[in-house]
Structure 1
Amino acid sequence: MKHLLTKAAVAALAIGFATESMAVEWNVSVWGKRRAFTEHVEKLAELVSAKTNGEFTMNISYGGLSKNRENLDGISIGAFEMAQFCAGYHRDKNPTITVLELPFLGVNNLTEEVAISHAVYAHPAVAKDLARWNAKLLMTSPMPQYNIVGTSEPRDTLEKMAGMRVRATGGIGQAFEKVGAVPTSVTATEAYSAMESGVVDTVAFAPHAHLSFRTIDQATWWTANLNPGTVNCPVVVNIDAYEDLSDEHRAALDGSVDESIAFYVENYGKLLTRWDEVLTEKNVQKVMISDEELTKFHAVAADPIREKWIADMTAQGIPAQELYDLMMTTLAETRAAN
């Protein structure tokens, strides 16, 4: 009997350890505070936990694990298993996905932004590029076209934008530079203080960021139709952590991406619906750029920046023209389907 009890106790302990070993907890590094930009990450964590009966959970940290410009580095060394970052923060580390940050692509909505982002992410050259950082692209963080807020006189012509100090990254920053503005790539969390202290005159953000980082609180005007482009901010996972997942857990993660993105798009749509109300509440003037000025901006910025990007990336051995064509073909197909 003693022998049998011993065996039973050992078996019970073994089952307990096995159950414990099956539990997986991932650390996820984002920044700022919970907002429309992070809702797909929150939804993903919720869905994965539900599908695995709490065996696979995610601890989402808003700035506690890493600075936003260092999230890709953290992924590369396994400091955490999942992270969100923006391509424009370190263009040299993720050159392939900067095609999605080229100015004036003509993307009209978040559905189109999701489609072109995920098409580019799936390209073998892009997977290889991010694998240098032990990162696997999981999903995008689709954002609408950026526009700028500012104080004093509205910058509603290219002439008035000359010399303007603007918080803008990636292709948007390059576009403003083409018209004589002075872009600076202060992070989103630094934008309010940069505007308050006069380091920048204007800030380029999507609506959710103007709200979350309070730049709208200082603004007296907003360009409603400049639409110079947007930034691309993927969510990535550490390749080793991803491959270490059980088949069940990996399926739960992969199978939750589309639903998380759909939730994000629906939630962001509600924010865009309210945006005009916010402008009215805060007495922010809606500035419309004339068609003539927009045409001039396109001519100065769109074609030259695209051609230079293709030439520079091709020189680095990246199939730049192929990536650009894939993006534009996907955009056309998505628009036709909808």
Structure 2
Amino acid sequence: MKQHKLVKPLLVGSVLFSFVAAESAIAATEWNVSLWGKRRAFTEHVEKLAEVVEQKSNGEFKLSISYGGLSKNKENLDGISFGAFEMAQFCAGYHRDKNPSITVLELPFLGVQSLEQEIALSQSIYQHPAVVKDLARWNATLLMPSPLPQYNIAGVGDAPKSMADFEGIRVRATGGIGEAMSAVGAVPTSMSATEVRQSLDAGVIGAVAFAPHAHMAFGTVETAKWWTTNLNPGTVNCPVVVNTDALNELSDANRKILLDAVAPALQHYVDYYNDKTMSAWGPKLDEKGIERISFSDAELAQFRETVAGPAKQAWIEDMTAKGLPAQELVSLVESQL
């Protein structure tokens, strides 16, 4: 009898423990996040988002970040569409036909002056009904931008001293930046960031349009001989999206935690980019002996006149034909510049 009395409480305790553990496992939520490359300024807001979400949820909601282990970067939107993972980052220029509405943010020479302005501009476009509908085709909800400064070009071979010197140079450039390069006779080439260093080293391309962090992260600064300081042809738009079904299935508490975490994540990104990336860029150019190329105001004005107006008009015509309110989206952008 004594043995029986001892075993029974142990059995009951074991059952209760198993029940509590199972309930906790069910309550915990873990999302897979598909990025690429390695942790860098470009991904700091996602890293911060994961930190805040886990902290605010007391560990009940976690973002598991993968750098290339879940999908190729050009296939992240596809992965989101069928729920291969719950969150991902991609760049509009990687597949313009899949996300035509947000390519308005990649038009050349928009004149964005800061990361903060890029954030505000992107978020206003992301909330437009036509953009929401566009991304809904991929079961995607736009969560936050990845604000980038104006791109400039690093290359090998003879440094271009004038716009005419870009003639024939194969430049890795996507979106509106590619259009800008084409307008001065360069040959824009689209490839993922992870392919760029090898292509530059092998002579497949002669120059690369990147923001400073990417020139450092993907190694082009190790090979480049020159850098344009003030061409500023535009930037790319690389949003972070979530699978809409997964977002809707979150508990109200976790959904609020996720959405509330966006603002501090973006602020961390801006601080990190301004304080760490840009402060390291100048010394890196000096260390590598990279020549700085600056163009005259007259040349830049001519470049903008040649590129910006025609590119905008062509975009409006193309997107209107696709059924988008193109002029309305362009006007929304211009109203905030």
What TM-score comes out, normalization by structure 1 length? 0.94
Question: Contact (CA 8 Å) 1:25, 1:56: kept in 2 or not?
Answer: yes
AA aligned opposite 2:313: E
Q: Which among 236, 239, 248 is matched to residue 243 of structure 1?
A: 248
Partner of 1:175: 180
Counterpart Cα distance in 2 of 1:254 and 1:248: 10
Displacement of 1:126 = 0.5
Displacement of 1:324 = 1.2
Counterpart Cα distance in 1 of 2:286 and 2:309: 36
Q: Percent identity, please.
A: 57
Q: Which digits, 9 at most, give the CA deviation of each residue in 1:187-233, with x for residues without a partner?
A: 10011111111111100000000000010111111000000000000
Partner of 1:319: 325
Partner of 1:21: 26
Over aligned residues, Cα RMSD in angstroms? 1.6
Matched, 1:304 2:310: yes
Q: Which digits, 9 at most, give the CA deviation of each residue in 1:268-288, with x for residues without a partner?
A: 002112211111111111110
Q: Which among 291, 296, 299 is matched to residue 290 of structure 1?
A: 296
- Structure 2 runs not aligned, ≥5 long: none
Matched, 1:196 2:201: yes
Q: Which digits, 9 at most, give the CA deviation of each residue in 1:236-282, with x for residues without a partner?
A: 00011111100111011000000000000000002112211111111
Displacement of 1:11 = 5.5
Matched, 1:213 2:218: yes
Question: Contact (CA 8 Å) 1:141, 1:233: kept in 2 or not?
Answer: yes
- Number of residue-to-residue matches in the alignment: 331
Partner of 1:72: 77
Partner of 1:32: 37
Counterpart Cα distance in 2 of 1:174 and 1:295: 16
Counterpart Cα distance in 2 of 1:10 and 1:57: 27
Partner of 1:274: 280
Matched, 1:148 2:153: yes
Displacement of 1:156 = 2.9
Question: Contact (CA 8 Å) 1:119, 1:330: kept in 2 or not?
Answer: no
Partner of 1:335: none
AA aligned opposite 1:23: A
Matches within 5 A, 1:86-97: 86-97=91-102
Displacement of 1:4 = 9.7
Question: Contact (CA 8 Å) 2:157, 2:206: kept in 1 or not?
Answer: no
Question: Contact (CA 8 Å) 2:200, 2:207: kept in 1 or not?
Answer: yes
Counterpart Cα distance in 2 of 1:318 and 1:250: 30
